Structure 1
């Protein structure tokens, strides 16, 4: 590979690392034309320097940008080295990397060259060339440019597996503070268009087998958390709104990374704890798969997630009057609310108890985390049952057990050397 291309790759891959919304889940584009690759779920072949497992070539088309967003390393006023790929260069790199088994797909975003349509047209051309000229069937995720025309968004959906428009900041007030040149409506308009187009194309596909697929992995978005003072309840309310009204597949939460000095931003030494990101994802999971509402997880009384314990345990401790439940009689929706019982385990419990009452040993084999669940359930045994504990007691016991387990594992690892 030419030295000039390698230099561009170093610059534009590094600039793309701040975008976390690059999951390849949800697409099953089959290789039926003797082309290159198959898009599939959960491919993880390469790792970033910080240990995250990735399978996609993740780059910007360019880090030139007409906007001056305070939180963005590519902001127009930032004194950094700039670079831009041509359409053909991105296509060549993607094919080259795929043939070397480095990647299984492409995540392509971009700064704004001149305007939204000018930039979006080039992103679409990359995907179109890969699909039509190289018969590339690997996963393609395009970052849609806010304000791009419906025609370009429609064409993008014919070649990309997933499209996403970043909301960037959870609230409109926060966006106006840090990116006054941007308009929230420009972000929402393409999301609404994609929602309607995806529904329409699914209906066409149901009627006509040979109808073209359109963004089979749907659309997603990303919010930066911690650059502005929104509470977790505001963040999750925003996510819930877009899940319900725009049929998003995923909302990604990116903890603010201090890269620039700006009086509107937190101090350079202040970064968002990774655990806050983790708790937001756990809360998001509860909303999407466990039937929790936002105001059950966080509310005006408890506007922030507890960083010490997971959101389901936090809810359980605030609602001890609901417990204990009899694991052999309770319905599925109530079992799903028990701390320490996951989605699969809950379904296994409901299936297994048809053949007899379950005890603690059987629950452990099913996959229940008894260190948490034992405080909230009864079963066909009274071995662990203690019902005289307060929420504070339970929290302290669980945290102390977790700490002891951590120390034990650390000691074991040290003894290996």
Structure 2
């Protein structure tokens, strides 16, 4: 049995969509028959059935941690924010470097002797990747997974901006692209996008999509705002400043204006933190019938997962841009739920690539007329037969599943 060592920021599925994706990948590695050991920096001890999980302990006696504590003291007591200044000088915060120190210190003591080492991360941290740069003996069997563009100025518009220490972060990216034997990406478009900045990604990169995992169908009480008897559209995920729901909301209410009877039977549900930039849109469209339900916080993963299976339509909403190279973390859940998706985003996107150019429920995020017509079409299909609102993409079930993952990893191991 081949051994895979996974080094990851967190395996707490409730702390971010990135952690959910990382755990799904680990679960499918186990399902594919690998011997998996996981080093993680979650804030609590967490286990994954079938894997040996080791929590990285914080070493409070290294000078970087002590410096970070002193800076936190200055911030808390004197409102002195020093981290951006330090990042401009050395590229990374003391907290980042302290965590990297903890990872490196622990990994150098490991006796697992893996056949493949995979570094996973979330948000903009890439701490495991920084730690692996310090362990040269593993570079020949290292797969550096890049879940999102990095650094921030390598994001496509409108997400891009120059973070403090961006030159150091850029060099860090080029270093691990060069040193790692392989690189992994959740989408083909992301691999091609990042290859423009680090050509090694094009030569060494493989596409390992976010994974679809079988989750035990527990008896979960769904929220009171959800009514199984209504035509429900669900967007689950944060609405960042760039991820603007205005076109979706206005398209939905235009659909209601054109179809007054739907006021009694249609709901748009938005779950996840909402940027204040969008508050005017929400305030404008409040109504007494509760057609628009907005939950400005994250709900537990298992609740959202069951909602995705129970609603009429799942929504993918991306930013207004020329390209969206991201594979949304919820995409596998939406495929598994087998409900039709309303996809709002740029035409050049990974979601559109996977669903196919002939997928009909697609619009740019700000085309209110098209969005309204698509919702209307979905509504009348639901009225005709609510049990036939199916996605029916079996090829995506295979693409996102453990068998395809095993084929990809076995190809690397036999390289």
User: TM class by shorter-chain length?
Assistant: 0.3 to 0.5
Q: Tell me the TM-score normalized by structure 2.
A: 0.34
Higher strand proportion: 2
